Chain A
């Protein structure tokens, strides 16, 4: 059950993200990028396999490794979140600069001809 919920979440997020990314307004593009990065973050997390209430770090001695959650994807996803957050903020600044300089929020910097 939890696999289906997770797969649906990733699918819906990435589908809406892709659609928004292809839209002509810069605000839609940045929303699309954010949604896509959420989808990717959940996807990375799920690559460590889904486990409920499993500790991430093993104790001392020989124990069954399969009973523990894989800590590597958790470390990876943390890095990915930080980086995508920072770069989205940077993109937002460029987006505002573009709006300020060109006077249009279209990705081409000018309104399309009717």
Chain B
């Protein structure tokens, strides 16, 4: 633990925290400085995430970071394995692009955008990397507290109304989280995930029901977060009301819920868990299928793009949950690959949607301020009116971006959404049981629904002009953020082979919870 290289695991958590704290020392008017600081932080996090991803792609075990060098299960550990490093890398790509997009205009819509944004990234990264349940709670709360700030960013009546419901739902879910954690601790006497793997088969039969109740209550808290029907009805109005860069980065927030369900479900209820093996699988399957159906119906009914994107987030979560519930490791590999692509695409769809809607609504600008003294900035008006760079043929560029998003969300060739769906369906067809056919049918229908819904919205926004509509004005930074996000989608298709292989190895690794436990407890990890 002396080499700097060993400390990279904690970097994606400590760096945004330090930067956010440092940023609070500067006056709100020094926007350029704050923008540069967050860009530097996000670039550094991306670099660290890529180093970790490269390492976990070549190794067979997890990388374990012991805080204070106290050994697990007594000390606190961070675990960077294939799944968690993939999610951290995904966060930094999506977060970085949303940040660049926000630099054009949105970061001026309210106070302390950059600090809140970095704290959100810190919470998300921490939730992905942590190795015990209580730290998961703490990082989850950091993430949620920052997201409460971001959902209100830009203010206005719609955001405050949506934010009120969002905060109430998530505070309640956090209480369920605590009840679940407390029950699991009460039964097993540990909160370390690796230690739980070892202890679950030995739980006495009299206590097993209590343990299952705890796990189920804990699961409900995460299913609220990943918006499984009927727990996810809060998601569409909230994400549709949030400002575009915030909504784009919220696409990863629901994936935190999916990640935790995947991690804990496979770790605690894998084949080696004795009487608890496979607990909750049927619920995930049915709930996931219902979420796909609900999300697709919502996509068809949506009247604007940000709401459609919010339903696309639900479809994406539902797909992964259903595959997880069906319990086929090969299909899970496809689902992991699909999750990466669809998260990037949903994020991009929020950004494209905002650009398209901007020209439809004359005063789509920020609403009323809640705190006038904080909100008002002497340089504000002058800067707000600075016109974005009008890119030649902006319509073609925006329409092209919309096309890429539609193909990704609907899962059509030639992009990565298709590769992921094909991998899932191929694996499910080989299994061929009733559940597999249900998933295949709903996945195909959801592709069709997403295609119809998005094409209709696209025609209305791009072609069906009513009278003289002002041309699309896209800031250079907005275009850069969106472009990188879409380039990532395209790269995912070009390097699809490597991506699917990585996802397959990840699914194989997730199917061996004892390897995870050994890496953390017996020091098999790096």
Mark A residues whose CB is within 8 Å of B: 21, 26, 29, 33, 36-37, 40, 43-44, 47-48, 72-73, 76, 79-80, 83-84, 86-88, 90-91, 94-95, 97-98, 100-102, 107-109
Contact = CB atoms under 8 A, between A and B. Distances in A.
Interface in B174-233: 174-175, 178-179, 181-183, 185-186, 191
Nearest to A49: B186
Nearest to B190: A72
Interface in B144-186: 144-145, 148, 152, 157, 160-161, 163-165, 167-168, 171-172, 174-175, 178-179, 181-183, 185-186
B174 A84 contact: yes
B167 A90 contact: yes
A97 B370 contact: yes
B426 interface: no
B507 to A, nearest CB: 33
When A and B form their complex, which 8 residue pairs have the shortest distance between CB atoms, in order from nearest? A47-B186, A44-B182, A47-B182, A109-B161, A97-B370, A83-B141, A40-B178, A101-B157
A61 B359 CA distance: 74
Given A33-B168, A107-B164, A44 B178 contact: yes
In terms of DSSP, what is the predominant structure of the interface of chain B? Answer: helix
Contacts of B279: none
A95 B175 contact: no
Given A86-B145, A97-B370, A37 B168 contact: no
Contact of A91 (B160, B167, B191, B368): B167
B487 interface: no
A36 B368 CA distance: 33
A98 B161 contact: yes
B168 A91 contact: yes
Nearest to B157: A101
Contact of B160 (A76, A90, A98): A98
B167 A107 contact: no
A84 B186 CA distance: 21
Contacts of B164: 26, 94-95, 98, 107, 109
A26 B161 CA distance: 11
Given A107-B165, A109-B157, A79 B138 contact: yes
9 contacts: A21-B172, A43-B182, A44-B182, A76-B182, A86-B145, A90-B145, A91-B167, A91-B168, A97-B152
B134 interface: yes
A79 B134 contact: yes
A24 to B, nearest CB: 12
B175 A90 contact: no
Contacts of A73: 182, 185
Interface size class for chain B? 20 to 34
Contacts of A44: 178, 181-182
B275 to A, nearest CB: 22
A29 B166 CA distance: 13
A93 to B, nearest CB: 9
Contacts of A80: 137, 178
Given A47-B186, A48-B186, A73-B182, 5 more contacts: A40-B182, A72-B191, A87-B141, A87-B171, A94-B163
B185 A47 contact: yes
Given A84-B174, A97-B370, A102 B161 contact: yes
A101 B183 CA distance: 41
Contacts of B148: 87, 90, 94
A95 B168 CA distance: 10
Contacts of B178: 40, 43-44, 80
Contacts of A47: 182-183, 185-186
Interface string B129-145: 00000100110010011
Given A72-B185, A83-B138, A94 B179 contact: no
B171 A101 contact: no
A76 B134 contact: yes
A27 to B, nearest CB: 12
A106 to B, nearest CB: 10
B145 A87 contact: yes
A102 to B, nearest CB: 6
Contacts of A102: 157, 160-161
Which of A40, A86, A94 counts the most chain B CB atoms within 10 A? Answer: A94
A6 to B, nearest CB: 13
A78 to B, nearest CB: 11
Contacts of A83: 138, 141, 174
A97 B160 CA distance: 7
Nearest to A29: B168
A31 to B, nearest CB: 12
Contacts of A48: 186
Contacts of B172: 21, 33, 36
Nearest to B134: A76
B138 A101 contact: no
Nearest to B162: A109
Nearest to B164: A98
B203 to A, nearest CB: 15
B232 to A, nearest CB: 18
Contacts of B141: 83, 87
A48 B189 CA distance: 9
Contacts of B174: 83-84, 87
